[in-house]
Amino acid sequence: MSSAEISTHHDAAHGEHHGPAKGIRRWLFATNHKDIGTMYLVFSLLMFFTGGFMALIIRTELFSPGLQFVHPEFFNQMTTMHALIMVFGAVMPAFVGLANWMIPMMIGAPDMALPRMNNWSFWILPVAFGILLSTLWMPGGAPASGWTMYPPLVLQTGDAFPFLIFSVHLMGFSSIMGAINIIVTIINMRAPNMTLLAMPMFVWTWLITAYLLIAVMPVLAGAVTMLLTDQFFGTSFFLAAGGGDPVMFQHIFWFFGHPEVYIMILPAFGVVSEIIPTFSRKPLFGHDSMVYAASSIAFLSFIVWAHHMFTVGMPLTGQLFFMFATLLIAVPTGVKVFNWVATMWQGAMTFETPMLFSLGFVFLFTIGGFSGLMLAVVPADIQYHDSYFVVAHFHYVLVPGSIFGIMAATYYWLPKWAGHMYNEKLGRIHFWMSAIFVNVTFFPMHFLGLAGMPRRIPDYSTQFADFNSIASVGAIGFGLSQLLFVYIVFRCVRGDGATATAEVWDNPRGLEWTVPSPAPYHTFEEPPEVTDGKAFS
Amino acid sequence: MIQKLCLSALAILFASSAGAEWELNMPRGVTELSAETYNLHMQVFYWCCAIAVVVFGAMIYSLVKHRKAAGAKPANFSHSMTAEMIWTIIPIIILMIMAVPSAETLIKLEDGRKPDLTVVVTGYQWKWHYEYLGEDVAYYSSLARTSVDARRKNSGIDPNTVENYLLDVDNPLVVPVGAKVRVLITSNDVIHAWWVPDLAIKKDAVPGFMNETWFRAELTGVYRGQCAELCGKDHGYMPVVVEVVEPTAFQNWLDSSRPEN
């Protein structure tokens, strides 16, 4: 009697185990790494367009000298919100989404180690950004002190202030939980015989990134909590009148902030290190040295923070130390670029969209690296600091750096996720439009900065007019190009392209290509046989 | 395409260095240290160009020659200790070559001893206050009236018709040519930064703290800059103007500026 029941029960449980729940429950209570990965990616795309829209408001106002469209207060709100949304809402969640989708499939694990925490870490984000965006309608407007939230200026924020702090706390919770999950998954759930050094580069760079996140997000939380108590509870951490030091905030912030920039670029390094070997039909050059280089970058990122603060009035020895340490970062970063070039060398390259974005990444990230090298030279940095030269520099490493990395990853793995190919022709058009417009937007900013235009100003002297107009045209072009990206992804997910094979590309390496396309709801319920771990690295 | 675009853009920057045009490149400036800063900037820039030629050259060669469409057959090498040693050690050497002169200039920048004149600069939201230490001369320096009128949203005044739009003030800082001017910088409210590109000076004005920097202008003239640290809604509207004059003219100006006059 009971055996039939048990068997039915078992079947039901079995069925539930194999398919997603129906309707909203599938997403609200999601524990499947693929579902959560998808939610992260969609959320990131929404935030990318939200932050991008704000960037276009900025560029529209800056199209010509004089104030035409917004007031200075609102302009400052836009620069602040644009940065917070792009950093915490677009770039970071996109990489966490990619990690969710790909890390279990790349290491032969059935899912992330902590699926319920995974759900929690995602669903905190819409709340955090809902709160942050709601401040736009509060008395006094949204935060306008720059994403760096320097006191005492940030303490002049209106009603939005505590909401800003709370949303930053929430983003920190989300990042820390995501990072713990990724570390636990990578350390504990690799397929048998996959040694650490045999892991694919994307997994490696994410492991390092996750450690960086755990190390620095609490530091940011501490910094903003001190702002909160300075504002509401009578403390004077950063208020000189009470014996505090405003510059101490900058030290704490950038102790978070500098590793943060590597949090945003290391996973992109990983993506590019997966894609270039595939389309060069050649193994990644110097896999192990790439691991060591990424680890060195991560370590050095903790001892260079004050290069963001060369004008605050530091002792000479401090400035010298931070200059030398910063210059040193060029060495492991150079190793990465040289290794990518060596990977292409004597390969048999083809130029599908993921490869194009990866090549664009290597070219343009390197240009951002060059301006980074220039910024490390303290006397010159005193001229560059807080000018448009800096704006050009970090947009070169973030847009054709991080964002191109995300785009490359999306095109590379989209057929695996959707089971169909995207439209290659449109993909290439998307690449060329993005690559051209990104340069039209950000290259002139180098000149503006060198000529003396400070950042974060709503209006400028007429001598800066020409390059600002060019940059604005580029920005609008870049924004419109991204609509094409949405169209391409939408068409692919809807199933308009050719059916994708399991391998998708020409003999790519990695466990993710051993499962069918689209990847079944559950993969690697039995760990795969990894006889030669190196085969996947 | 993309490389062409970048290279041509780099070429523009390169070409401009010869003429040292204000609009495209960092100004050479009017102090010994601003010229040194400019030279450092150009030196590092040329290193970057050289590295770019090697790296992008290798990459472009590979993109052309090692294409599947060109019939390339993939090699299978995946590491080379020699190559990796070379591209670790050579960058270290280049960085040391960059670091030494940078450190030398930096040490000079930080040596503000024996000034001829000391000015206390205080940042306010949104203007500057200048005080000539021991001279009984102090005044505020705000955005010039012409710019104030034109800067309002939809003011109807074309900024191109305003002379030195957003870069002009009512009362500039006046200093004598050839004198070592020590600048002590602080703030009354939030953090500002006092920046004059031609003097190669940028220093944060931090409330409750006194920062120090110095310059010695070698040419008379009017040098313009702006607040460089976001300080609230009118951050873009607090320019810095420094007028460098002959010593006698400076003395006359100083005497006429004392309150008893």
Chain B contact for A195 (CB, 8 A cutoff):
no
User: By C-alpha distance, which of B48, B224, B59, B86 is closest to B144?
Assistant: B224
Q: Is A34 a catalytic residue?
A: no
Selected for mutation to probe chain A from B73, B102, B234 (highest A CB count within 10 Å) is B102
The verdict on a CB contact (< 8 Å) between A386 and B229 is: yes
B132 and B206 both lie in a single domain: yes
Catalytic residue among A61, A111, A274, A512: A111
In a domain, B37, yes or no: yes
Selected residues 290-349 of chain A with any CB under 8 Å from a CB in chain B: 311-313, 316, 319-320, 323-324, 327-328, 330-331, 334-335, 337-339, 341-342, 344-349
- Alpha-carbon distance values, A182 to A101, A138, A203 (Å): 11, 37, 9
Residue A265's Cβ-count burial label (10 Å; 0-12, 13-18, 19+) is buried
Q: Band the pLDDT of B154: cuts 50, 70, 90.
A: confident
Q: What is the CATH number of the domain that holds B225?
A: 2.60.40.420
pLDDT in tens, B48-58: 999 999 999 99
Residue B21 has pLDDT above 70, yes or no: no
Query: Whole-angstrom Cα distance, residue A154 to residue A227?
Result: 8
Same domain for B156 and B244? Answer: yes
> Cβ distance A323 to A378 under 8 Å?
yes
- For position A193, what pLDDT does the model report? 87
- Optimal mutation site among A238, A457, A506, interface B, most CBs of chain B within 10 A: A457
- List, in order, residues 6 or more apart from A34 with CB less than 8 Å away: A100, A101, A417, A519, A521
- B14 found inside a domain: no
Q: What's the residue count for chain B?
A: 261
Determine, yes or no, domain membership for B172.
yes
Report how many domains make up chain B.
2
Query: Exposure string (b/e) for A108-146, b if CB count within 10 Å is 16 or more?
Result: bbebbbbbebbbebbbbbeebbebbbebeeeeebbbbbb
What are the DSSP calls for B6-24, one per residue? HHHHHHHHHHHHHHT-TTT
Count of pairs with CB atoms under 8 A, one residue in A, one in B: 313
Beta carbons of B206 and A246 less than 8 Å apart: yes
pLDDT at B259: 84
Q: Across the interface, do B191 and A282 touch by the CB < 8 Å criterion?
A: no
Q: Is A258 a catalytic residue?
A: yes
Residue B151 and residue B189 share a domain: yes
Q: Are strands B117-124 and B239-245 parallel, antiparallel or unpaired?
A: unpaired
The answer to whether A457 contacts B26, with C-beta atoms less than 8 Å apart, is no
- Please indicate whether, in this complex, the C-beta atoms of A379 and B109 are within 8 angstroms of each other: yes
| Whether residue B101 sits in one domain with residue B227 | no
CA distance A180 to chain B (A): 32
CA distance A33 to A110: 9
B206 and B85 within one domain: no
Chain A CB contacts of B113 under 8 Å are none
Q: Can you list the pairs that B245-249 forms with residues at least 24 positions away whose Cβ atoms lie under 8 Å? A: B245/B174, B245/B175, B245/B176, B245/B177, B245/B220, B246/B176, B246/B177, B246/B220, B247/B176, B247/B177, B247/B178, B247/B179, B249/B176
Q: Are residues B125 and B55 in the same domain?
A: no
At B49, which CATH number? 1.10.287.90
Of A40, A101, A147, A411, which one is the catalytic site residue? Answer: A147
Q: Does A285 touch chain B (CB under 8 A)?
A: yes
List the single residue in A156, A282, A447 with the smallest CB-CB distance to B74: A282
pLDDT value at B7 more than 80 = no
B20 in a domain, yes or no? no
A14 is catalytic: no
B86 and B148 housed in the same domain: no
Residues 6+ apart with CB under 8 A from A207: A182, A183, A186, A199
Q: At what angle do helices A246-280 and A388-397 cross, to 10 degrees?
A: 40
Between helix B32-65 and helix A316-344 the angle, nearest 10°, is 10
Q: What is the pLDDT of residue B126?
A: 93
Q: Do B74 and A370 touch (CB under 8 A)?
A: no
Pair (B136, B63) in one structural domain: no
- Rounded to whole angstroms, the Cα distance separating B203 from B192 reads 8
Which residues in chain A (376-405) have CB-CB distances under 8 A to chain B?
377-380, 382-383, 385-387
Q: Which of A90, A91, A80 is nearest to A55 (CA)?
A: A80
Look up the pTM and report it.
Answer: 0.92
Instruction: Please calculate the CA angle A222-A227-A231 and round it to the nearest 5 degrees.
Output: 145
Tell me: pLDDT of B16 over 90.
Answer: no
Residues B244 and B121 in one domain: yes
Indicate if the pLDDT at residue B1 is higher than 60: no
d(CA A359, CA A432): 12
Between chains, do A66 and B37 touch, taking CB under 8 Å as contact? no
Distances, alpha carbon A381 to alpha carbons A372, A375, A378, A446, in Å: 10, 5, 5, 13
Instruction: List the domain range (segments joined by +) for residue B43.
Output: 32-70+79-109
Q: Name the residue in chain B with its Cα closest to that of A370.
A: B48
Q: What is the DSSP letter of A385?
A: T
Instruction: Give the mean pLDDT per block of 10 residues along chain A (537 residues).
Output: 41 54 90 96 97 97 94 96 97 97 96 96 97 96 96 95 97 96 96 91 97 97 97 95 95 96 96 96 93 96 96 95 95 95 95 97 96 95 96 96 97 96 96 97 96 95 94 97 97 93 92 93 90 55
Determine contact, residues A77/A163, Cβ cutoff 8 Å.
Answer: no
Q: What is the pLDDT of residue B261?
A: 58
Q: Identify the residue among B4, B68, B107 best suited for mutation to test binding to A, counting A beta carbons within 10 A and taking the highest.
A: B68
Tell me, yes or no, whether B15 lies in a domain. no
pLDDT reported for residue A471: 96
Distance from the Cα of B253 to chain A's closest Cα (Å) equals 28
Contact criterion met (CB below 8 Å) for A484 and A430: yes
* Selected residue of A145, A341, A387, A509 to mutate for chain B interface (largest B Cβ count, 10 A): A341
CB contact under 8 A, A462 and B160: yes
My answer on whether B233 and B131 are in the same domain is yes
Phi then psi for residue A281, to 5 deg, are 55, 45
Q: Among all chains, which residue has been given the structure tokens 């399991």?
A: A502
What residues of chain A, 496 to 535, have a C-beta less than 8 Å from chain B?
none
Nearest alpha carbon to residue A459 among A63, A83, A85: A63
Question: Distance of CA A120 to CAs A61, A125, A186, A365, Å?
Answer: 39, 9, 19, 33
| Band of residue B9 on the pLDDT scale cut at 50, 70, 90 | low
Q: How many CB atoms lie within 10 A of CB B130?
A: 21
Closest CA of chain A from B20, distance in Å: 11
ipTM of the complex: 0.90
Residue A242 is encoded by which pair of tokens?
A: 């009470």
- The better pLDDT of the pair B158, A534 is held by B158
Active site residue A147: yes
- Cβ atoms of A113 and A181 closer than 8 Å: yes
Closest A-chain CA to B78: A285
The closest alpha carbon to A412, from A481, A350, A471, A357, belongs to A357
Nearest C-alpha neighbor of A38 from the set A524, A418, A499, A498? A418
Question: Is A174 an annotated catalytic residue?
Answer: yes
Residue B17 lies in a domain: no
Alpha carbon distance, N-terminus to C-terminus of chain B: 66
Instruction: Say which of B6, B95, B230 has its CB closest to residue A439.
Output: B6
Q: Which are the contacts of B205, defined by CB distance < 8 A and separation ≥ 6?
A: B121, B122, B123, B185, B186, B187, B191, B192, B193, B194, B211, B229
- Residue A240 to residue B233, Cβ atoms within 8 A: no
Mean pLDDT across B230-248: 96
- Look at A446 and B13 and tell me if their CB atoms are within 8 Å: yes
Residue B156 within a domain: yes
Q: Is A245–B79 a contact, with Cβ atoms under 8 angstroms apart? A: no
Separation of alpha carbons B65 and B73, rounded Å: 11
Nearest-5° Cα angle at A86, A440 to A258: 95
Is A472 one of the catalytic residues?
A: no
Interface contact flag, A379 B33, Cβ < 8 Å: yes
**Mutation for testing the A interface, residue in B182, B230, B242 having most A CBs under 10 Å:** B230
| Interface check A426 vs B, CB under 8 A | no
**Chain B residue with minimal CA distance to A76?**
B233
- The model's confidence at residue B2, banded by pLDDT at 50, 70 and 90, is low
Long-range residue pairs from A66-69, CB within 8 A, at least 24 positions apart, any chain? A66/A459, A66/B150, A66/B151, A66/B155, A66/B157, A66/B158, A66/B159, A67/A458, A67/A459, A67/B151, A67/B152, A67/B153, A67/B154, A67/B155, A68/B153, A68/B154
The DSSP result for A212-252, as a single string, is HHHHHHHHHHHHHHHHHHHHHS---SS-GGGT--HHHHHHH
Contact A439 B9 (CB under 8 A): yes
pLDDT in tens, B32-46: 999 999 999 999 999
Residue A158 touches partner B, C-beta closer than 8 Å: no
Distance CA A533, CA A530 (A): 6
- Residues in Cβ contact with B134 at an 8 Å cutoff, skipping those fewer than 6 apart: B118
8 Å CB contact of A452 and B197: yes
Residue at B42 is within a domain: yes
Q: Kindly determine whether residue A451 and residue B23, on different chains, have CB atoms separated by under 8 Å.
A: yes
**Domain end position, chosen among B93, B109, B125:** B109
Q: What is the mean pLDDT of residues B157-177?
A: 94
Q: Which of A336, A385, A430, A446 is catalytic?
A: A336
For residue A72, give the H/E element and its range: helix A72-84
Distances (CA, A) of A238 to A133, A224, B206: 26, 11, 11
Strands B117-124 and B181-187: parallel
B105 lies in the same domain as B130: no
Judge if B186 and B105 occupy the same domain.
Answer: no
pLDDT, position A15: 44
